Amino acid sequence: MAIQTDVDMEALDGILSATPDIDSGDLIYILQEIQTAYGYLPRPILSEMSNRTSIPISRIYGVATFYEQFHLAPHGKHTVRCCRGTACHVRGAQSVSDAIARTLKIEPDQTTPDMLFTFETVACLGTCFLAPVMMVDDDYYGHLTADKIQDILERYT
Amino acid sequence: MPDKKIKSLDQLQSLKQQLIADKSQYKARILICMTGCRALGAQAVCDAFRRQLAKSTLADQVEVVEVGCIGICAMAPVILIEPYDYLYGKVKPEDIPEIIATTLTGGKPVERLTVTEDGKSLPKISDIPFYKKQQRLVLANCGRIDPKRIEDSIAAGGYAGAIKALTQMTPQLVIDEVTQSGLRGRGGAGFPTGIKWGFCSKSPGDQKYLICNADEGDPGAFMDRALLEGDPHRVIEGMITAAYATGATKGFIYVRAEYPIAVEHINLAIEQAQILGLLGEDIAGSGFDFDLDVRIGAGAFVCGEETALIASLEGQRGMPRPRPPFPAVAGYKGKPSNINNVETFANVTVIMETGAEEYSDIGTEKSKGTKIFALAGKVKYTGLVEVPMGTTLREIVFEIGGGIPDEGQFKAAQLGGPSGGCIPPKFLDHEIDYDSLQEIGAIMGSGGLIVMDQSTCMVDVARYFLDFTQSESCGKCTPCRVGTAKMLHILQAICDGKSEGIDLDELIKLGENIKLTSLCGLGQTAPNPVLSTIKHFREEYRQHIEENTCQAGVCKGLLGYEILDVCVGCGACKKVCPVDSITGGKKALHTIDKETCIKCGQCFTACKFKAIKR
C-alpha cells in the first residue's frame, strides 16, 4: 500500500477529543469511528493515532487486520456485498458470486480500477428469505440469478 | 413519556393500566414489519398507509405501528391488522386503497393478499398452518409492539417480572427459580443457565460484569437479530434479572456490526429504560444499580466464543484463551463475568413472568421451554419459528414450513450452522431437543435451520462449511489452524474430481482429532458438518470419489455440459451464456465448446426442453 501523506487530520482530532481517557479498550470503537470518517483506515492516521494515544502501532495493526470490518485501502464508490450464507449457498449463491466477479472483472475483496465498485462476500446478511441475496450499498437484491447481475450493476454509476 | 422515574412495582403496574387505556382510542391498528421486510419495500407501504389514512375519515381511529418481525418472511412485506388479526403478505402501496375500503371500513379481509392453502384463503393469523403449531412465548411481542416505544412494552407487561425479582426476591431465589425452570443456554451449547449464574454469583470480586452475546455469526441464523429489533426490552429485562442474580452492576450487549437496525433499537431501548429509572441507579426503587452499554463487533465469527468475545470487548484481537479460569471467575478485565445469549435472556423474562413451574411444563424432560428457529433454504415458508422443545423436524419443515417448493424432495436439514450437522429424512420424526440432536450427529446450535432438497450436494455443503470455519479460524491453536485447512483441502479435491488416494476413514479420523484437541468451540465443532454428512450420506461421497459424479449437479469439477439431440435450436442457452461458448444456427442443434465453458449452469436453467446434460 502506498503511504499517503496528504491525509486530513481534522476528523482524527475530533474523534480523539470526543473520547476521554483513551485506553486500548476503546481501540475497536475508535477504529470504527475512523473508518466511518475516512471510508477506510489510512496508514498515516493510524500512525498519528498511535503517537497521540500511546497505543503501540503494532497493537493497532493487530486489531485492524483481525476483524473483517476494517480495511486498510480505500473502498470503491459502491460496495457490492454478496451473501454466502447457508440458505443462499443452497439456492445458488456461488453462481451469483461468479457472475458478479465476471461482470466487474474483479475477485472478492478487490476494487475496480476506476474505483466504482468494491466487491465483498459476507457470511450472512440475515435476510435468508431473499436467498440468494446481495446488497449494493444499502439496497437489497433478492432471489437473484446469474443473468440478473449485469443489469443491476449497470444502474450504479 | 412521563418524566418521573418509576419507584415501585405498583407504580409500574398503574402505568401499564394507564397505557392500555390510552390505546383503546383506536378502532384498528395496522402493524407493519419494518425490520426484515424493509428489504422488500415495507417503508414505501408504511409511508403510503400514513399518507392515505391522513386524508381519510379514519385518520384518528387507525394507528399505523412499525413493528419487528411478524414471522412469515416468505410473504414479505407482511402486515397484520388488529383487532381482526388479518395477515396480508407481499403488500404493495397500490393495495392500500382496497385494504382501507374492505378491511378498515368494511371489516372484511382482502382475500387476494392472504395466505392460501389448497385454494382457500386464510386471512386470520391463527388459521395459518405456519402459526398453528408454534408457541410464541419469547416472540410474543415481536411483530405486535413498536420496539421503539418502551410504553408498548410496558403495556404488554414488560419489566414487571424483573422488578418483582428485584423487590421481592433474593438473588439466590432468582438463581433457584431459573435453575428450577430447566432453562439451558440458547447460544448453542445448552449449559444450564441457573448453574452458570450460580458460578458467577459465588465468585468473589468487587466488580462483576454481565455480557449479552449478540454476535450472531452463524450463517443462516437471524433469531437474535429479530429479538433485538422486534422486542429489545425483553432482552434488557432479562439482563436486569440476571445482573441482580449474579451481582453484576455493569453490562454490555455485544452486537455484530451487520445488524444496524438492531443496534439502533437496542440503543434507543436502553435510553428509554434509563429515563424511566428501569436502568441505572436504584432501579425502580429497589436499591439495585445496573447499567448497560452497547458494543459493536467488527466482524469475526470466533467472537461468538465467550473468551474471544471478552478479548474483543477489551479491544484486543478476538482470540479465545484456555478455560479455566472460566469467565465466571476471571472474565472481562479479569473480573467475574457472566455471558449469555440474547435468546437466553429473553427466556429469563418469560420465566420471571410465568414462574419456573409453568415454564418447565413446556418441552422435553431435559430441554425445557421453546426454541426459536430461523427456517430457510428449500422450504415454502421461510421465516422465524418458535416451537416447544420436542417438536419433530417433520412438523417444522412440513406443517409449519409448508414443505419443499417446486415439487422438490426433502434431502436433509442442516441445524447448528458451521458447528452442526445435516439430518437425513430417516430422522424426520425424531423429537428435537439438545440431547436428541447430539445422538444423531447434529447440535441445537443457535437455531439456524436450513432445508435442503435433491439439488443440494452434501459433499459441497460440507466443503462450504469447512471453507467458512477455516477462514474464520483465528489461528491460535494448531489443530484448528492446520487441521481445518487440511480437511478443506481434501474436500476441495473431492469436489474438484481429484480424489485419487483419498480415504474417507482417514478424513473421519482427522476430524475426530481436531474435535478432541482444539482450544475453543470453533475448532471443537468445525468437523461436525463433514462427519455428519459422511455418516448419513456416505454413498454420495463414494459416488464423487469412485464414479466422479455429483448427482445434485453442483460440483463443477465433476460436471461436463453437453447438448443432446432433443435440442430444438431455440437459442435460449446461447443467449444466456456469459462466455459465448454455445454455437448453433436457428432451429439447428447447438453445441457447447467444452474448452471455454465455465460450467456456470445458466444454459441448464434456461433450457425448456431438457436438452442440456451435465
**Residue B408 or residue A23, greater confidence:** B408
Exposed, middle or buried: residue B532 (CB in 10 Å: 0-12, 13-18, 19+)? Answer: buried
Report yes or no on B90 lying in a domain: yes
Q: Where are the alpha helices (DSSP H) in B247-313?
A: 260-275, 306-313
Residues 63-92 of A with CB under 8 A from B: 63, 66-70, 84-87, 89-91
- Residue B559 touches partner A, C-beta closer than 8 Å: no
- Residue A101 touches partner B, C-beta closer than 8 Å: no
CB contact under 8 A, B296 and A29: yes
**Judgement on whether residues B569 and B485 belong to the same structural domain of the protein:** no
| Residue found under cell 497493537 | A59
Domain limits of chain A?
10-66, 78-154
- CATH code for the part of the protein at A78-154: 3.40.30.10
**Judgement on whether residues B185 and B268 belong to the same structural domain of the protein:** yes
Among A125, A128, A137, A150, the residue to mutate for chain B (most B Cβ within 10 A): A128
The shortest CB-CB distance from A63 to any of B257, B296, B316 is to B316
Stretch B173-186: mean pLDDT? 97
Confidence of residue A8 (pLDDT cuts 50, 70, 90): confident
Report pLDDT for B197. Answer: 98
Q: What percent of chain A clears pLDDT 90, i.e. is strictly above it?
A: 78
Q: Could you say which of B110, B125, B140 is where a domain stops?
A: B125
Q: Could you say which of B421, B453, B485 is where a domain stops?
A: B453
Peptide bond preceding B171 in cis form (omega within 30 of 0): no
Helix, strand or coil for residue B572? helix
> Would you say residue B257 has pLDDT above 90?
no
The shortest CB-CB distance from B299 to any of A67, A98, A131 is to A67
Confidence of residue B217 (pLDDT cuts 50, 70, 90): confident
Report yes or no on B55 lying in a domain: yes
Find the residue in A nearest to B332 (Cα): A25
- Residue B448 touches partner A, C-beta closer than 8 Å: yes
**Judgement on whether residues B244 and B345 belong to the same structural domain of the protein:** yes
- Hey, what's the cell of B568? 430444438
**Judgement on whether residues B167 and B95 belong to the same structural domain of the protein:** no
- Contacts with B133 (C-beta within 8 Å, 6 or more apart), sequence order: B387, B391, B395, B396, B399, B400
B304 contact residues in A (CB cutoff 8 A): none
Q: Tell which residue, B563, B599, B557, has the closest CA to residue B578.
A: B599
CB contact under 8 A, A68 and B300: yes
Q: What is the ipTM of this complex?
A: 0.90
Q: What percent of chain B clears pLDDT 90, i.e. is strictly above it?
A: 89
Q: In CATH, what number is assigned to the domain containing residue B476?
A: 1.20.1440.230
Stretch B384-396: mean pLDDT? 97
Q: Where are the alpha helices (DSSP H) in B387-503?
A: 393-394, 434-439, 458-472, 478-495
**Judgement on whether residues B219 and B320 belong to the same structural domain of the protein:** yes
Q: Which residues pair with B29 in a beta bridge?
A: B63, B82
Query: What is the spatial distance between Cα B247 and Cα B290, in angstroms, rounded to a whole number?
Result: 9
Query: What is the spatial distance between Cα A73 and Cα A70, in angstroms, rounded to a whole number?
Result: 9
Confidence of residue B3 (pLDDT cuts 50, 70, 90): low
- Domain residue limits at B94: 27-60+68-125
Report yes or no on B8 lying in a domain: no
**Judgement on whether residues B428 and B476 belong to the same structural domain of the protein:** no
CB B40 within 8 A of CB B92: no
CB contact under 8 A, A128 and B382: yes
**Judgement on whether residues B428 and B575 belong to the same structural domain of the protein:** no
Q: What is the pLDDT of residues B336-373, one digit of tens each?
A: 999 999 999 999 999 999 999 999 999 999 999 999 99
Q: Tell which residue, B237, B238, B126, B153, has the closest CA to residue B193.
A: B238
Report yes or no on B229 lying in a domain: yes
Report yes or no on B6 lying in a domain: no
Q: What is the pLDDT of residues B259-271, one digit of tens each?
A: 889 999 999 999 9
Q: What is the pLDDT of residues A107-148, one digit of tens each?
A: 999 999 999 999 999 888 888 889 999 999 988 999 999 999
- Hey, what's the cell of B54? 391522513
Domain count, chain B: 5
**Judgement on whether residues B43 and B95 belong to the same structural domain of the protein:** yes
**Judgement on whether residues B121 and B238 belong to the same structural domain of the protein:** no
Report pLDDT for B190. Answer: 92
In chain B, the largest separation of any two C-alpha atoms, in whole Å, equals 85
Q: Tell which residue, B37, B41, B40, B59, has the closest CA to residue B50.
A: B59
Give me the sheet containing B383-388, strands edge to edge: B383-388, B370-377, B448-453, B410-415, B421-423
Q: Could you say which of B453, B469, B490 is where a domain stops?
A: B453
The shortest CB-CB distance from B299 to any of A26, A69, A98 is to A69
Residues 17-56 of A with CB under 8 A from B: 23-29, 31-32
Stretch B468-486: mean pLDDT? 95
Query: What is the spatial distance between Cα B30 and Cα B132, in angstroms, rounded to a whole number?
Result: 22
Report yes or no on B256 lying in a domain: yes
User: In 3-state terms, chain B is what percent helix, strand and coil (to 5)?
Assistant: 45, 15, 40
**Judgement on whether residues B388 and B468 belong to the same structural domain of the protein:** no
What are the φ/ψ torsions at residue B82 (nearest 5 degrees)? -90, 150
pTM equals 0.94
Q: Which residues pair with A1 in a beta bridge?
A: none
Query: What is the spatial distance between Cα B454 and Cα B554, in angstroms, rounded to a whole number?
Result: 11
Lowest mean pLDDT among B83-87, B534-538, B594-598: B594-598
**Judgement on whether residues B374 and B332 belong to the same structural domain of the protein:** no
Helix, strand or coil for residue B364? coil
- Hey, what's the cell of B542? 463414494
A130 contact residues in B (CB cutoff 8 A): 39-40
**Judgement on whether residues B228 and B344 belong to the same structural domain of the protein:** yes
Report yes or no on B20 lying in a domain: no
Report yes or no on B78 lying in a domain: yes
Q: What is the pLDDT of residues B579-602, one digit of tens each?
A: 999 999 989 999 999 999 988 888
Query: What is the spatial distance between Cα A67 and Cα A138, in angstroms, rounded to a whole number?
Result: 21
Report pLDDT for A4. Answer: 52
Q: B205 to chain A, minimum CA–CA distance in Å?
A: 21
Q: A108 to chain B, minimum CA–CA distance in Å?
A: 14
In order, the DSSP letters of A89-105 are HHTTHHHHHHHHHHHHT
